[in-house]
Structure 1
């Protein structure tokens, strides 16, 4: 219940409403209402509360409101009581929960079934239902969304008709989504440009069949790309002014140039002029604007627009794609969605190859992982010194260690020469040190120097091997890069030619 005192001017306006209101539902329109009065009604929250729609200088009372006008001690007040609206079909009933969107000819509600399942329901408004062309378009939209098998198109799951007095308002039911691409782009913290690009390309890939059948949407914009959070996917919706090749009995509508958009932000140049001819290249133009917006947050206008490479250098290759998609002349754009996706794939691979080649050239040889030996324990026992190492002595390191310069100056079996040492696992044994302390000191010094030298020589050897491998990799990458550039150029040229055949 809402109650608010109105001044005499507002009283007069509301009186006019009630004179026309028949009390049986339906819609009441009051024309030639002073804009100042509408502004005041809005300021006092009447319009927000009653969900009035404004069209020019007119006020429309929706059919889902019960309105009473009364006087209380000669003071006018407006009382509005919301009542539930139930939409019935042959198999189900849907109770209105709230309004979630309004278009030029219809309203989308969130509805609920008796078992608690939520859906979205699109209802054609009463005025549009009385227009033969708009009625046919709505039926065509519902039938197409039900029958279409493209995995990137919203699917209608039920149909019905709301009968109010002599007006029949058709509606259809579809899955309840979690917002649109417009919502996702406004939340960059959760949905990065990379995530959005993946979903966007998956959407285009799923629309191949839609466009290959000769259809085109004519109103592509982020608000019409709905997001399903469970599937983490985008779906194309709202086919109210789409060109559909399939003909449905009683709902065949010819697409004419005069069927123009209400929102021109994403409209192609040919859609902005009277008599302009549209086809799927008009949709490609809109997709190009959106692709750029995914990264820059801005819709390209003119030629001096913010480019993807300015904010995401690793995706700079997409600028070439966008430029081709939003060419002013339709004949200069990609001929179809297949060409767009193929070009992105080819340029993406070429960009990856170029990046890998650059990283190979700039990479620093890292030898921090090279094996380094340490003496962790020394012990003398019965004339022999035992050296325990940090790891087993093996492979190239052991070969280098054994090549250390030797000092052999005794004839009683004492040799400072790695080839005379017994090496087992991580133990080095130096024999015949005896009870001579000077020999013991020389032995420890010699083995320590030999280990240090072997470590340095081993690192030098590994470093040289890795440098050779790195140089070979750089050469190989350059060959791949040249091949990728050649393939990219040829692929674009040949596929553009094939698209025209």
Structure 2
């Protein structure tokens, strides 16, 4: 490994301490005139030309950006024997040191980190700058008087110090840190764009929540196995410690940022801010309600649905095939409603039967009443009563009126016949006697 040598002479700055060292070193210094604390990043004598060209291009762009969530570049010295740049010094450290100390960050801090990085993305992306190396080491923080953390993005397009762990930065062909690189960076590093920065930020937020990246590069498994996971496998839903409440909007933001397809991936800082602001509201409501936090956390995990993989896992398709089982009761419901129509039908048929019986009874009674009116009963005195011959030719109209409308007050026919002998009329001609005997006989037969 080549020896790294540095020049320690900086005319305008007083060196206080060294913050880090590799193929470049970072120094803490104070400006001799203003007294401002600064960080000086100096490249070694044997720094490769490609790194220096990237440094020159990106640093010139960054000198024009002043944003509270972007570390300001104060000065660039390209003509020096060992080029260096001067940045604002940020007290505190980087997010990597936080994760090493605490394991994971509180939910409110993760949301704050996401919101402030969205603001930083606005500042750089609108200028056509793609960071290409978003990771915890490149996000610095300072602690405010309130105790909250203020985050700043740094190291734009500059190769970081090569670490001894698995999160190595590859320079030369491309600039990436494997565990934070988007799938398209493995396919074609030249296709890296704004969407790639959002994917890397999604990995950072996922790690800040859980203490672990979605896909871990294990030394024993090899890079090929790791790349296959990044390109095809789906990340597991984030599992928080002690089953903490996970705001659904934060879960949705992570889901959209970690999509495989860069065209479908979330790549708008404004959309990310909307989701994270809603997550703040959901977190506040959960802390106030308390009782529903655990249930909401489980719902947020269940709602974690990512882009369908090329070879779908059976576990993700199983709910689709089991869905008809839940709809079967809807087809069986009409069987419970069948008895109601049957009861109404029986009541209807019973009513029809009653009406039919009443109609038959009415007809039967009406058939009896005309018979009594047409052939009135006569007593024994009617055998000697003479009949006026004029009665034999009397019209039948009065007779029909009497038979069609009989009343209870009408006197019986026997009373009318018994009054006839009092007139003492002469005996009628005997020619009609046989017919009278026949009528009397019929009257007797029909009298009940």
Question: Scaled by the length of structure 2, what TM-score is found?
Answer: 0.51
Alpha carbons of structure 1 residues 281 and 233: separation in structure 2 relative to 1, 3 Å: same
Alignment-derived partner of residue 236 in structure 2: 305
Alignment-derived partner of residue 239 in structure 1: 156
Alignment-derived partner of residue 442 in structure 2: none
Alpha carbons of structure 1 residues 356 and 192: separation in structure 2 relative to 1, 3 Å: closer
| Aligned Cα root-mean-square deviation (Å) | 3.6
Q: Is the 8 A contact 2:40 2:87 kept in 1?
A: yes
Q: How is 1:283-298 mapped onto 2 (pairs within 5 angstroms)?
A: 283-298=197-212
Q: Is the 8 A contact 2:4 2:45 kept in 1?
A: no
- Match status 1:107 vs 2:25: yes
Alignment-derived partner of residue 214 in structure 1: 128
Distance 1:357 1:117 in 2: 47
Alignment-derived partner of residue 273 in structure 2: 341
Alignment-derived partner of residue 260 in structure 2: 328
Listed one character per residue, the Cα deviations across residues 346-398 of structure 1 (whole Å, up to 9, x for unaligned) are 4554676688778599xxxxxxxxxxxxxxxxxxxxxxxxxxxxxxxxxxxxx
Report the 3-state secondary structure (helix = DSSP H, G, I; strand = E; otherwise coil) of the residue aligned with 2:115: helix
Alignment-derived partner of residue 49 in structure 1: none
Q: Is the 8 A contact 1:123 1:171 kept in 2?
A: yes
Q: 1:126 aligns with which of 35, 38, 45?
A: 45
Alignment-derived partner of residue 169 in structure 1: 82
Larger proportion of helix: 2
Report the 3-state secondary structure (helix = DSSP H, G, I; strand = E; otherwise coil) of the residue aligned with 1:315: coil
Question: Scaled by the length of structure 1, what TM-score is found?
Answer: 0.46
Higher relative contact order (CA 8 A, sep 6+): 2
User: What residue ranges of structure 1 are gaps of 5+ in the alignment?
Assistant: 1-57, 65-84, 243-256, 362-501
Report the 3-state secondary structure (helix = DSSP H, G, I; strand = E; otherwise coil) of the residue aligned with 1:335: coil
Question: Post-superposition shift, 1:339?
Answer: 1.7
Distance 2:116 2:88 in 1: 19
Alignment-derived partner of residue 9 in structure 2: 86
Alignment-derived partner of residue 96 in structure 1: 15
Question: Post-superposition shift, 1:334?
Answer: 0.7
Alignment-derived partner of residue 79 in structure 1: none
Q: Is the 8 A contact 2:198 2:266 kept in 1?
A: yes
Report the 3-state secondary structure (helix = DSSP H, G, I; strand = E; otherwise coil) of the residue aligned with 1:213: coil
Distance 2:279 2:107 in 1: 18
Q: 1:226 aligns with which of 140, 143, 150?
A: 140
Listed one character per residue, the Cα deviations across residues 40-86 of structure 1 (whole Å, up to 9, x for unaligned) are xxxxxxxxxxxxxxxxxx3314144xxxxxxxxxxxxxxxxxxxx22
Distance 1:304 1:203 in 2: 22
Listed one character per residue, the Cα deviations across residues 277-324 of structure 1 (whole Å, up to 9, x for unaligned) are 111110111111111111210111243536145655322412222121
- Match status 1:136 vs 2:53: yes
Distance 1:329 1:218 in 2: 17
Larger proportion of strand: 1
Rg (Cα) greater in structure: 2
